[in-house]
Chain A
Amino acid sequence: MLILTRKVGEEITIGEEIVISVLEVRGSHVRLGIKAPPSFTIHRGEIYERIREENLRASSIALAQAGALSEKLRSVLPETPSALKSS
């Protein structure tokens, strides 16, 4: 891993199109600005990790329990589509 030290206002460029700037440092929080082409999706690491875990969990039961899952779905789904319930 490349490790760089940067000050507020300084930047890091990756390739020709991605620029990461250090906007603010306050205590243990660092605010970063990221410029990248729209084809790059940018997320906080932990969000992607949660989606990963969710997919792995979902796939682990799919084949063996597809019948049971489908039955369960039929019992909980509304007869007609409804509005999203806020939690």
Chain B
Amino acid sequence: MMNSELVVDKGSTVSSLSAAEQAVFHFPQGLPGFEDLTRFLLCEREGLKPLTLLVALDVADVALPLLRSAEFLIDYSPPILASDLEALDAKSVEELDLFVVVTFEGSGDGVAVNLMAPICMNLTRRLGRQVVLPDGMYPLHYPLVRTHE
């Protein structure tokens, strides 16, 4: 089936990934829902664009579909605390790449992104962290709908 080569099961399929995709990213705190998983691969493939997959390295079948927020929003600038920057070994938010988690909406028809908890990554240092923003600042479910001008 399509994309089955992306399933990572401890070694065998990792070797089929490109060198860039084999770079391991560390999420020292894990992710909400996956607190024990700290090592991930970032898969950005031509065929999957604009989707990026954050694939867990230590278990099979865990991958979060991500989208770079800059791909579709010009004014998304969540406040990143000094402690988050420190954990990501970054001096400013400009050093980070911001991603948001994508989900199919209930009916499976629409898609939504989680703007409340961006995945912040320092691509140089290969560190990542999902930052939970203060309540009410950005929506947990932001539906993506093409607007016709």
Listed by A's residue number, 20 A-B pairs whose Cβ atoms lie within 8 Å are A38-B82, A47-B135, A52-B33, A54-B114, A55-B33, A59-B63, A62-B65, A63-B63, A65-B104, A66-B51, A66-B53, A69-B102, A70-B51, A74-B49, A76-B110, A76-B111, A78-B146, A82-B147, A83-B75, A84-B76
Which residues in B have their C-beta under 8 angstroms from that of A39?
83, 86-87
Q: Is the interface of B mostly helix, strand, loop or mixed?
A: mixed
Interface status of B36 (Cβ within 8 A of chain A): no
Contact present for A47 and B132 (CB under 8 Å)? yes
B interface, size bucket: 35 or more
Contact present for A69 and B111 (CB under 8 Å)? yes
Q: Is the interface of A mostly helix, strand, loop or mixed?
A: helix
The number of residue pairs between A and B whose CB atoms lie closer than 8 Å in the complex comes to 140
Where the two chains meet, the residues of B that have a C-beta atom closer than 8 Å to any C-beta of A are 1-4, 6-7, 31-34, 47-51, 53, 61-65, 67, 70-76, 81-84, 86-87, 101-104, 110-111, 114-117, 130, 132, 135, 138-140, 142, 144-147
Contact present for A73 and B102 (CB under 8 Å)? yes
Of chain A, the residue at the smallest CB distance from B146 is: A76
